[in-house]
Amino acid sequence: MASSVVYQDAAKAIDWLCNAFGFEVRLKVEGEGGRIEHSELVFGEGVIMVGEEKRHAQKGRAGKSPRSVGGANTQSVMIYVDDAVAHCARARAAGGKITYEPKISDYGEDYWADCSYECEDLEGHRWWFSERVRG
């Protein structure tokens, strides 16, 4: 499974996502002027495609950066990490806006407990990172 996230400046976003969250570039196709034609970033076994807002418009797709729509998010991506507190510190150091500090949520003995935080990236996408502490 893969998800797609749209940015006004996809090249800058790719660099930031790798630095702040630890994504790795699997594929980056650059066009004229460094425009991102297609990209695939990996985190563990997950894949995120990062696209250019202008490119989406040219192809008749409706994808927008939250920056272009008053900060609205229509999707939040949640990713499991080994250490949510350390991951949060990394994101904060890279300039991420932490909108929900790391917190343990316990859903009861029949379910699970996790430590999660939320970070807003440089264009307003909201990302959740979670560490399973009891499962």
What is the predicted pLDDT for the residue at 30? 93
Residues 3 and 55 in one domain: yes
Residues 58 and 1 in one domain: yes
Higher pLDDT, 125 or 58: 125
Residues 1 and 58 in one domain: yes
Residues 101 and 123 in one domain: yes
Crossing angle of helices 84-93 and 10-21, in 10° steps, is 140
DSSP code per residue over 78-95:
EEE-S-HHHHHHHHHHTT
What is the predicted pLDDT for the residue at 69? 87
Q: Which residues have a Cβ under 8 Å from the Cβ of 52 and sit 6 or more positions away?
A: 6, 7, 8, 9, 10, 35, 36, 37
Residues 47 and 104 in one domain: no
Residues 13 and 36 in one domain: yes
In CATH, what number is assigned to the domain containing residue 135? Answer: 3.30.720.110
Residues 33 and 90 in one domain: no
Mean pLDDT within 79-91: 97
Mean pLDDT within 109-123: 95
What is the predicted pLDDT for the residue at 71? 86
Q: Which residues have a Cβ under 8 Å from the Cβ of 71 and sit 6 or more positions away?
A: 124
Q: Tens of pLDDT along 23-81?
A: 999 999 999 888 899 999 999 999 999 999 888 777 878 788 888 888 888 788 999 99
Q: Which domain holds residue 48?
A: 1-62
User: Mean pLDDT for the chain?
Assistant: 93
Total structural domains within the chain: 2
Q: Is residue 82 part of a domain?
A: yes
What is the predicted pLDDT for the residue at 104? 96
Q: Is residue 96 part of a domain?
A: yes
